Amino acid sequence: MTEPEGGAIDQVVAAVSHSAKYRRVSLDLIRAIAEQELAAHRKEKDAVKAVKNRLHQVCGAFFIGEPRYATWLQAIEHAVQQGEPVALRAACGEAMLKHTSTRERLPIIERFYGELVEGLAPDSHILDIGCGLNPLAIPWMRLPERVSYTCYDIDAGLIDFLNAYFAAMGISGHAELRNVVTDPPHAPASLALVLKVLPTLDQIQRDAGAALLRGLAAPRMLVSFPAHSLGGVQKGMAATYSARFLALADSERWQVRQITFASEIAFLVTR
C-alpha cells in the first residue's frame, strides 16, 4: 500500500461530492474516507466507487426515500402555531418515520425518553451526536425551562432543516455540520445523546466511538445501540456492541444503567 497523492485525493473528493447523492455531505468526511480508499485502490475510479459504498453505510442508508424537509417543516410550523402538543407530536412523528433510527424508536419513545432523560435542571445543555432526525423527539423529552440543544451530523441538507426546526419551535438550538471523528466536540454539556451512532463511527475509523465518548465533557451520557442490523438480521451484533461498551465503561469507571428495548439497547452513563 502506498501513500495517496494530494492531487488524486482532490479528484476523488470532487467526483464524490459532485454526485447527486453525496453533494451535501461534509467534505471533511468525504476526504477522510477518500484517503483510506485511495491507499487501498490503485485506480481513482475504483476509489470513487469504494468511497461511495462506504458513505452509503455511514450516512446514505438511513433515510427511507428522499427526505421531504420543506413539507415536514411546514407541518411542524403549522402545529406550533396551533399550540396543540398532540398535533406537534404527530407532525414530528410523521417525519421521524422516514429515518430508520427514529422510525424504530417511535413505538418505545414515551418510555425511552420518560425513563432516560429525567432529572435535568433548568438551563441544561444537551448534545446530540450523529443526530439524524432525533431532535424531532424533543416534544417527547419533557425538558425543563431554558434548555439549549446542540446537534451534529454530516449532511448539510439535514443541518439546514434542523436549524429551521429549532427556530420554528422557539428552542435555543443549533445544528452543526461536523465530522465528529476528526472534530469531536469537547464543550461542556449536561447530557450527551449518543444514539445508535458508535458502530457507524467505528466504520469510519477504528475505535473512533470510544475516543469520542472519552473526550465528551458531559457528566451524563445516553448511549445506545441497535438491537439488530439495518437489514433486520440479528447476528449477535447487539451482544457484541454491548459487551464492548460495558468493557469500556468498566475501564473508565463509569456508572451504567442498562435498559433493553425491543429495538434498541440503551445505557445511561454517569461519570
Residues that bind ligand SAM (CB under 6 A): 29, 58-59, 62, 101-102, 130-132, 134, 152-155, 179-181, 195-197, 200-201, 204
Q: What beta strand segments (E) does the chain contain?
A: 125-129, 148-153, 172-177, 191-195, 220-226, 255-260, 264-270
Least Å distance, CB 62 to ligand SAM, is 5
For residue 138, how far is the Cα from the chain centroid?
15
Closer residue to ligand SAM (CB): 102 or 124: 102
- CB of 59 vs ligand SAM, minimal distance in Å: 4
Identity of the residue, 143 or 204, whose beta carbon is nearer to ligand SAM in the bound complex:
204
122 φ, ψ to 5°?
-55, 155
Rounded to a whole number of angstroms, the minimum distance from the CB of residue 174 to ligand SAM is: 15
Closer CB to ligand SAM, residue 17 or residue 78? Answer: 17
Closest distance between ligand SAM and the C-beta of residue 108, in Å?
A: 12
Let me know if 86 is exposed, middle or buried by CB neighbors in 10 A (0-12, 13-18, 19+): exposed
Distance from C-alpha of 32 to C-alpha of 104, rounded to nearest angstrom: 30
Residue 147 or 193 with smaller CB distance to ligand SAM: 193
- 138: Cα within 13 Å, side-chain hemisphere: 26
